[in-house]
Amino acid sequence: MAELHIRKMTQEELGLALSWAAIEGWNPGLHDAKTYFLADPNGFLLAEFDGKAIGCISAIKYSPDFAFIGFYLVKPEFRGQGYGMQLWQAAMSYLSGCNIGLDGVAAQQANYQKSGFQLAYANVRFQGEVGLVNADKPNKLKGAVVPLGTVPLSSLFTYENAFFPADRTAFVQAWVEQDDANALAYVDEGSVQGYGVIRQCQTGYKIAPLFADSLEIARSLIAALTADLPKGAAFFLDVPACHQDAVLFAKGFAMEPVFETARMYTQTQPALPLNRIYGVTSFEIG
């Protein structure tokens, strides 16, 4: 009798899994396989049954203390047979001892709680349309929005460190340098005070992340990130629901909520500056 076999994915196989995610409507970026893989080359698991790939999960161990789980998918014809639970258990075993975060659909909160996860807050995906609202509102900012490539990587990493509970420099460097994307920073007197990345996805574009020290800086960044997109193009932003200014900010760009996740952790909620997070990086890897 055939048995389920769970093993590490290759980067090429991660591309296959992303194609499954696209079918599910998760709308991955065009180059997510290359960038995601750098977060933890050991952290993407593939389930095979009778030699056929049937499911996947990401279990990213950023450090001995912090990890993120997601990208949890079993092909429809293999659901309801316990294979997903075996995948989940393999991922949780790999991440044993870590404080584990995830973004799960709200309907599955009770199941995640059975594995020790507790709700921290919701993240809401907003969708907008380029040109629907004039984003070029005047501001009184003294600094400037510049291509992130003109900013020393050390300055970017120093700024980024406040927004994530573990080091992820290899991933961040690849993320801001990926193809079919634009990465911008807001700099004032040599200091990075915000940055954002917009990348092309299967449908439209995602702004992820969008970190900023003030509402005006966030507004300046989103205006610049969307400035060269085709009029009418869809763009998306994933906003912590507990950051009310960010929610109002998204609505100010005529964006509408289209999806919601539950951010949960197995241990203490990391002390992140949620009041400066206008867009999270990824529901799949944190």
Per-residue pLDDT tens digits of the chain, which is 286 residues long: 468 999 999 999 999 889 999 998 899 999 999 999 999 999 999 999 999 999 999 999 999 999 999 999 999 999 999 999 999 999 999 999 999 999 998 888 899 999 999 999 999 999 999 987 555 555 779 999 999 999 999 999 999 999 999 999 999 999 999 999 999 999 999 999 999 999 999 999 999 999 999 999 999 999 999 999 999 999 999 999 999 999 999 999 999 999 999 999 999 999 999 999 999 999 999 9
* Structure tokens that stand for 66 in this block: 């912090």
Report pLDDT for 131: 84
Q: Could you read off the pLDDT of 64-74 as tens digits, one per residue?
A: 999 999 999 99
Report pLDDT for 233: 95
In this prediction the pTM is 0.95
CA distance 74 to 78: 7
Sheet strands (E) in the chain:
4-8, 44-49, 52-61, 66-74, 99-105, 118-129, 144-147, 181-188, 191-200, 205-212, 234-240, 256-265, 277-279
SS3 164: coil
Asked if 7 and 48 touch (Cβ cutoff 8 Å), the reply is yes
Asked if 212 and 194 touch (Cβ cutoff 8 Å), the reply is yes
Report pLDDT for 140: 79
SS3 73: strand
Report pLDDT for 38: 95
Across the strands, what pairs with 119? 264
Task: Please report, for residues 54, 83, 246, the alpha-carbon distance to residue 87 in angstroms, rounded to integers and kept in the order given.
Answer: 10, 6, 35
Report pLDDT for 106: 84
Q: Exposure of 57 by Cβ count < 10 A (0-12 exposed, 13-18 middle, 19+ buried)?
A: buried
Report pLDDT for 65: 97
Quick count: other Cβ atoms within 10 Å of Cβ 157?
A: 15
Show the domains of the chain with their CATH numbers: 4-114 (3.40.630.30), 125-279 (3.40.630.90)
